[in-house]
Amino acid sequence: MAMLDTNSPEQVCSAYAECAKGATVTTFSAIIGDEPVYQGKGDDARPGASIIGIISIISKKMVWSVLLEFPRETAVALAERFAGFEIPFEGEDMGDVVGELANILAGDLTSRLSGMGIQGDMSLPTIVRGSGIDMIVPEGHSEQMSFSSSVGAIHLRIVSGEPHNATCRRSGS
């Protein structure tokens, strides 16, 4: 992988987006058994209940955050594929699974960023339930991505911002 000019915000954001796409395809291919397909930005309006795993990668210059959102049907199907048993959407275990999925995605993403010369540490995941949730970072860059898969839609929002704006919980804290 080519080293990045980390002083160029445009290059960095573009590279982050490509890494996030790749990490999503790799992660969910391994779990589902077939590749999710990138569908572009997707709809801003995503009606219905969903569950979101939020995780960040903290480097010296930037914080890279990922909001991994599953509609109810996707969450239930994916959780069963991942864990090997049925997990009710409303229960705590569903939050546990989504946190782990965000964790695995972030691990792949961190590895890809490392290959481009961007070193970072993963935060602990945070789980949110709701719909249309957005993460606002002052002076940050944000991009929405949607994927289709055999278990349903997968939505990803990637956000990059300054480290002093980070609100994530670090490992070991």
Q: Which of 2, 84, 139, 164 binds another protein (CB under 8 A)?
A: 84
Q: Decide if residue 173 touches another protein (CB under 8 A).
A: yes
State the number of binding residues for another protein (CB under 8 A): 27
Q: Which is nearer to another protein, 12 or 118 (CB)?
A: 118
Q: Decide if residue 150 touches another protein (CB under 8 A).
A: no
Q: Which of residues 24-83 bind another protein (CB under 8 A)?
A: 30-31, 82-83
Write the DSSP string, the chain: -PPP-TT-HHHHHHHHHHHHHHHHHHHHHHHHSS--EE--S--S---S-EEEEEEEEE-SS-EEEEEEEEEHHHHHHHHHHHHSS---TTSHHHHHHHHHHHHHHHHHHHHHHHHTT---EEB--EEEEESS-----TT-EEEEEEEE-TT--EEEEEEEE-GGG--PPBTT-
In the complex, the smallest distance separating the C-beta of residue 45 from another protein, rounded to whole angstroms, is 31
In the complex, the smallest distance separating the C-beta of residue 61 from another protein, rounded to whole angstroms, is 17
Q: Decide if residue 6 touches another protein (CB under 8 A).
A: no
Q: What backbone torsions phi and psi does residue 144 show, to the nearest 5 degrees? A: -105, 140
Stretch that binds another protein, among 43-51, 69-77, 107-115, 158-166 (CB under 8 A): 107-115
Where along the sequence are the contacts to another protein (CB under 8 A)? 30-31, 82-84, 87, 93, 96-97, 99-100, 103-104, 106-108, 110-111, 114, 119, 122-124, 169, 171-173
